[in-house]
Amino acid sequence: MLPIAYAWLSLLIIALLGPGRAEVHGQSPKTRPLELILLQDKEGTCDILALRNTQHVRGLRQGGVHAKTLPTQFGGQRVSLVAYDQRALWASAQSQCANTLSGDIPHEQALGPQDGPQQPMAPRVVDFAVRAPQLQIAPLVQSGDPSNRVDLVFFADGYTADEHAKFLQDAQRLADDISYNQTFNTVKPLLNFWAAFTPSKESGIGVGGKPKDTAFGLYRDGTELRGVYYSKPDVVQAACLSMGDACDYAILMGNDPLYGGLGGEFTVITPSLANGPPVLRHELGHSIIDVGEEYDGDFGYFGVNAAQNLSTPVPWAHWLTPSATDSAAQAVRSERAVMPLQTYAWTMLNTSTPWSTNFTSSGLYARHLVRFSLSGLPQAKDLSVRLDGEDLGWVPKPGIGVDRWHYDIYRDEGLAGGAHEVKFTLKEGKREGVAQLCSVEIVEFGDETQFNSTPGHYSMYPTFNYYNETSYRPTNEDCLMRLTPTPNFCKVCIEGLWMSLLRRVDLIDDVATACSTNAASGTVDFSADLLLVPLAGYRADVVASRESYTIMWTKDGETLHEYTNKTRLAVEGADADAVYAVNVTFTTDEVRVDKDGLLTSHRRIALSEIC
**Are residues 141 and 89 part of one domain?**
no
Number of domains the chain is built from: 4
Q: Is residue 491 part of a domain?
A: no
The domain boundary, picked from 414, 436, 451, lies at: 451
Q: How far apart are CA 166 and CA 159, in angstroms?
A: 8
Three-state SS annotation for 357-380: EEEEECCCCCEEEEEEEEECCCCH
Q: Of 146, 164, 145, nearest to 156 (Cα)?
A: 164
pLDDT at 142: 97
Residue 223 is predicted with a pLDDT of 83
Are residues 437 and 515 located together in one domain of the fold? Answer: no
Sign of the C-alpha dihedral computed for residues 390, 391, 397 and 402 taken in this order = positive
Report the pLDDT value the prediction gives residue 11, as an integer from 0 to 100: 35
- Quick one: pLDDT band at residue 331, thresholds 50, 70, 90? low
| Whether the predicted pLDDT of 115 surpasses 50 | no
Q: What is the pLDDT at residue 522?
A: 85
Q: Would you say residue 492 has pLDDT above 90? A: yes
Report pLDDT digits (tens) over 121-177: 233 334 445 789 999 999 999 999 999 999 999 999 999 999 999 999 999 999 999
Look at residues 451, 479, 494 and tell me which one is the last residue of a structural domain. 451
Residue 114 predicted with pLDDT over 50: no
Distance CA 395, CA 161 (A): 40
Per-residue pLDDT at 51 exceeds 80: yes
Residues 66 and 211 in one domain: no
Q: What is the pLDDT of residue 330?
A: 52
Q: Are residues 142 and 283 in the same domain?
A: yes
What is the residue range of 362's domain? 336-451
Q: How far apart are CA 113 and CA 455, in angstroms?
A: 49
Task: List, for residues 238-262, the tens digit of each pLDDT value.
Answer: 999 999 999 999 999 999 999 999 9
**pLDDT, position 171:** 99
Average pLDDT over residues 391-399: 97
pLDDT higher than 50, residue 110: no
In a domain, 300, yes or no: no
Of residues 114 and 411, more confidently modeled: 411
Determine the pLDDT at residue 129.
Answer: 56
CATH number, domain with residue 253: 3.40.390.10
The 10s digit of each residue's pLDDT in 522-560 is 899 999 999 999 999 999 999 999 999 999 999 999 999
Same domain, 149 and 202: yes
pLDDT of residue 102: 62
- Please check whether residues 69 and 151 belong to one and the same domain: no
Q: What percent of the chain has pLDDT over 90?
A: 82
Edge-to-edge strand ranges of the sheet holding 418-426: 355-361, 418-426, 383-387, 390-391
14: pLDDT strictly greater than 50: no
Q: Output DSSP code: residue 289.
A: I
Tell whether 84 and 153 lie within a shared domain.
Answer: no
pLDDT single digits (tens) 503-523: 999 999 999 999 999 888 889
* Tens digit of each residue's pLDDT (9 = 90 or more) over 54-89: 999 999 988 999 999 999 998 899 999 999 998 999
CATH number where 351 lies: 2.60.120.260
Please name the amino acid found at residue 544: A
HEC sequence for 141-181: ECCCCHHHCEEEEEEEECCCHHHHHHHHHHHHHHHHHHHCC
In a domain, 321, yes or no: no
Residue 82 lies in a domain: yes
Give me the CATH number covering residue 598: 2.60.40
Tell which of 234, 265, 289 closes a domain: 289
Euclidean distance between CA atoms 253 and 159, whole angstroms:
9
CB 280 within 8 A of CB 250: no
Helix H or strand E encompassing 195: strand 191-197
Continuous segment of H or E residues that includes residue 500: helix 491-502
The pLDDT tens digits of the residues spanning 267-311 come to: 999 999 999 999 999 999 999 999 999 999 998 899 999 999 999
Pick from 100-109, 208-217, 553-562, 592-601: least confident: 100-109
581 φ, ψ (degrees, to nearest 5): -150, 155
Residue 211 and residue 280 share a domain: yes
Which residues lie below 8 Å from residue 410, measured CB to CB, with a gap of 6+? 367, 369
* Residues 180 and 273 occupy one common structural domain: yes
Q: What is the pLDDT of residues 569-610, one digit of tens each?
A: 999 999 999 999 999 999 999 999 999 999 999 999 999 999
Q: Are residues 140 and 259 in the same domain?
A: yes
* Whole-number pLDDT of residue 105: 42
Q: Is the pLDDT of residue 329 over 60?
A: no
Same domain, 220 and 350: no
Look at residue 181 in the predicted model and tell me its pLDDT.
76
Residues 200 and 267 occupy one common structural domain: yes
In this structure, is residue 303 part of a structural domain? no
Query: Is 103 contained in some domain?
Result: no
Residue 299 inside a domain? The answer is: no
105 inside domain = no
Q: Which of 547, 579, 588, 580 is nearest to 563 (CA)?
A: 580
**Residue 341 in this model has a pLDDT that exceeds 70:** yes
